[in-house]
């Protein structure tokens, strides 16, 4: 319990991943992904791609929401080396740029399964980008080079038997599902922007790198970032301020619950003491009357579910037979046997169910599949009629939604 409370106080509730694809001059294209953490679950909230200014990036970030930055494009060099070639930082930099001065460049090394990816960029380029983000009032928790945080989702993105993968403008060379090489494609050679399914989340491929970086940061999963001291210090300050605010809110909530509990206990105790002066026999009789009324309501409810004392068709049997006829491409979301009649329930102020009926809600790929299944259900021995009450199309999930009403043989 204490560990769970501590984890809640430490984690960041929402965060924005920002990917900058640098071009000539000071131009760039930005892609963003907003993620939200609830307990130990991280959800994709929304994403945008093709942003061309820091102001447009700022519009995607709510006040107080931090960001994590990844940078690709012009001015950044990536080189994969064998793991055995690792040396001191100066040595690593010289393997990429032999004549470079360490004080002029940032060096990032990303540990992959089969190699180490070295990424080099001029300090001034990154420092200028961070300064412009700060001028927009954005809080930066970390900055990295390249889309290599996507390795976290290799089982969803990188087929084991594939030698390469293209996501947006990122072309990745693969070996058994792991990254061994990288190239940023020109805009005209970029992918068309297909939808990608990642652990149940539907994303446009252009925002996948930003989502992967945001997911790793909000989940406290380490991934390769630039060792920029100023960014690390500001990130630590932000986390401490958030911890202080959430701790204060948790303490206030605790004391409020404690006060409410004390007030409830006092009122309950006072009512019990005051009740001693009345008639215990009258109170007991009132409780008995209430119990009798509740029992009568339940008997009426059960009598209304079927015409005979024992239903002709058992509920589990009917559910199994209906599910057995379900074709591929269809999904049942709800099956209500003897569904509740909301209108009569409100009118009579008690639960009223529709006897000899079943209501089914679900999704299907197309209408012909649904019609074929309805014909199969009509052929079941306990089914008298099948009608479509509602049918629609979910544009987000690209599936049809339906509601069926079945009438059972008495």
Tell me: pLDDT of 18 over 90: yes
Q: What local confidence, expressed as pLDDT, does residue 48 receive?
A: 93
Examine residue 32 and state whether it is found in any structural domain, yes or no: yes
Examine residue 169 and state whether it is found in any structural domain, yes or no: yes
Task: List C-alpha distances in Å: 216 to 50, 220, 224.
Answer: 23, 6, 10
Ordered strands of the 76-81 beta sheet: 76-81, 116-122, 105-111
Tell me the H-state helices in 278-341: 280-305, 315-324
Same domain, 78 and 191: yes
> pLDDT (tens digit, 9 = 90+) per residue, 52-63?
999 999 999 988
Tell me: pLDDT of 94 over 80: no
Examine residue 298 and state whether it is found in any structural domain, yes or no: no
Tell me: pLDDT of 410 over 80: no
Examine residue 52 and state whether it is found in any structural domain, yes or no: yes
Same domain, 211 and 62: yes
Examine residue 297 and state whether it is found in any structural domain, yes or no: no
Q: What local confidence, expressed as pLDDT, does residue 4 receive?
A: 44
Same domain, 217 and 345: no
- The CA distance from 207 to 168, in Å, is 8
- The CA distance from 392 to 400, in Å, is 6
Residue 306 or residue 238, greater confidence:
238
Residue 301 or residue 97, greater confidence:
97
Query: Tell me, what CATH number does 402's domain have?
Result: 3.30.70.2830
Ordered strands of the 178-184 beta sheet: 164-167, 170-175, 178-184
Same domain, 32 and 134: yes
> pLDDT (tens digit, 9 = 90+) per residue, 329-387?
888 989 888 888 888 888 888 778 887 888 999 999 888 888 999 999 999 988 999 99
> pLDDT (tens digit, 9 = 90+) per residue, 262-312?
778 777 776 665 555 555 667 777 888 888 877 776 666 555 554 444 454
Examine residue 180 and state whether it is found in any structural domain, yes or no: yes
Among 99-103, 160-164, 183-187, 265-269, the range scoring the smallest mean pLDDT is 265-269
> How many domains would you assign to the chain?
2
Domain boundary among 202, 227, 252: 227
Per the confidence metrics, is the pTM higher than 0.75? no
Under the banding of pLDDT at 50, 70 and 90, the label for residue 126 is very high
Examine residue 299 and state whether it is found in any structural domain, yes or no: no
Under the banding of pLDDT at 50, 70 and 90, the label for residue 98 is confident
Same domain, 208 and 69: yes
> pLDDT (tens digit, 9 = 90+) per residue, 34-43?
999 988 889 9
Range of the domain at 396: 315-408
Domain boundary among 179, 195, 227: 227
Counting residues of the chain whose pLDDT is more than 90, the rounded percentage is: 30
Task: Pick the closest to residue 301 from 336, 359, 334, 344 (CA basis).
Answer: 344
Domain boundary among 227, 253, 279: 227
Examine residue 287 and state whether it is found in any structural domain, yes or no: no
């Amino acid at each position: 319990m204490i560990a769970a409370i501590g984890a809640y106080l430490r984690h960041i509730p929402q965060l924005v991943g920002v990917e900058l694809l640098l071009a000539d001059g000071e131009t760039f294209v930005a892609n963003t992904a907003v993620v939200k953490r609830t307990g130990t679950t991280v959800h994709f909230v929304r994403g945008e791609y093709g942003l061309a200014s820091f102001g447009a990036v700022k519009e995607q970030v709510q006040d107080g929401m931090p960001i994590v930055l990844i940078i690709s494009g012009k001015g950044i060099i990536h080189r994969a080396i064998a793991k055995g070639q690792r040396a001191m930082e100066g040595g690593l930099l010289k393997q990429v740029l032999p004549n470079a001065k360490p004080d002029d460049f940032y060096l990032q090394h990303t540990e992959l399964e089969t190699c180490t990816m070295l990424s080099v960029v001029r300090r001034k380029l990154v420092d200028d980008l961070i300064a412009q983000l700060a001028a927009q009032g954005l809080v930066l928790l970390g900055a990295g080079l390249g889309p290599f945080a996507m390795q976290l989702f290799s089982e969803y993105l990188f087929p084991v038997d594939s030698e390469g993968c293209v996501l947006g403008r990122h072309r990745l060379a693969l070996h058994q599902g792991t990254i061994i090489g990288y190239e940023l494609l020109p805009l005209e050679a970029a992918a068309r922007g297909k939808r990608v399914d990642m652990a149940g989340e539907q994303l446009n491929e252009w925002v996948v790198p930003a989502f992967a970086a945001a997911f790793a940061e909000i989940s406290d999963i380490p991934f390769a970032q630039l060792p920029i001291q100023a960014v690390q210090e500001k990130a630590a300050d932000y986390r401490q301020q958030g911890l202080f605010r959430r701790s204060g809110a948790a303490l206030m909530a605790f004391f409020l619950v404690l006060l409410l509990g004390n007030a409830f206990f006092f009122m309950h105790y006072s009512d019990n003491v005051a009740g001693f002066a009345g008639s215990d026999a009258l109170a007991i009789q009132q409780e008995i009357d209430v119990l009798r009324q509740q029992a009568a309501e339940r008997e009426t409810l059960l009598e209304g579910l079927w015409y005979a004392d024992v239903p002709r068709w058992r509920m589990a049997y009917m559910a199994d037979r209906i599910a057995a006829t379900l074709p591929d491409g269809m999904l049942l979301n709800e099956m209500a046997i003897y569904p509740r009649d909301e209108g009569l329930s409100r009118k009579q102020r008690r639960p009223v169910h529709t006897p000899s009926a079943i209501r089914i809600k679900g999704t299907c790929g197309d209408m012909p599949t649904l019609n074929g299944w309805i014909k199969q259900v009509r052929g079941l021995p306990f089914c008298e009629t099948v009608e479509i009450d509602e049918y629609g199309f979910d544009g987000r999930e690209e599936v049809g939604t339906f509601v069926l009403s079945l009438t059972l043989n008495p």
